[in-house]
Amino acid sequence: MSVSDDYLSDVTQRFRDLKSLVDRAIAQAPDAGLFEALDPASNSIAVIMQHLAGNMRSRWTDFLTTDGEKPGRNRDREFEPVATTTRAAVVADWESGWSVLFSELGRVRPDDLSKTVKVRHEPLTVVSAINRQLSHAAQHTGQIIMLARHATAPDAWKALSIPRGESEAFNKKMEERFKK
């Protein structure tokens, strides 16, 4: 496998991992917790999901051939309270953004990585544009997880990675798994 193939495979998995973390976090949060902001200057989980979905649809629609900031996108509206108050509608919007990302990312070929694309008229290599999107998604993933954790009763929350106090046991398990 070439470095370019490895990169595309790895970055796709990193995006899948981020989406999975959010999906598992919001599954634990109560419905009301999706729509409540911590304070007037903060965004709710639903607003952050709405923003990321809009961002992904804009950036990834015709990724290799058009500017990542589409004329029809209204970024400021993405930060307004979500018009719907149903979990299903928020999740459907969220899924639509990820669907565009994964579909278009799946079309990127190793030879495309050195090409130039534009985001808000700024020229970026395809690698840079992908990495930019990955870091943007990671930033908001962390916010969503923190807010979901905050909205969920302490005794109801299930750790998304290694539970507290279980690091040593996990490390031993991984050592055995990869021992040669």
Q: Which of 9, 2, 176, 16 is nearest to 101 (CA)?
A: 16
pLDDT, one tens digit per residue, over 96-125 is: 999 999 999 999 999 999 999 999 999 999
- The residue range of the domain holding 25 is 3-178
Read off the pLDDT of each residue in 141-163 and give the average, rounded to a whole number.
95
Read off the pLDDT of each residue in 154-170 and give the average, rounded to a whole number.
92
Q: Domains in the chain: how many in total? A: 1
For the question of whether the overall pTM of this predicted structure is more than 0.85, the answer is yes
pLDDT reported for residue 75: 95
For residue 84, what pLDDT band results from cuts at 50, 70 and 90?
confident
Mean pLDDT of the chain: 95
**CATH code of the domain covering residue 146:** 1.20.120.450
pLDDT reported for residue 170: 93
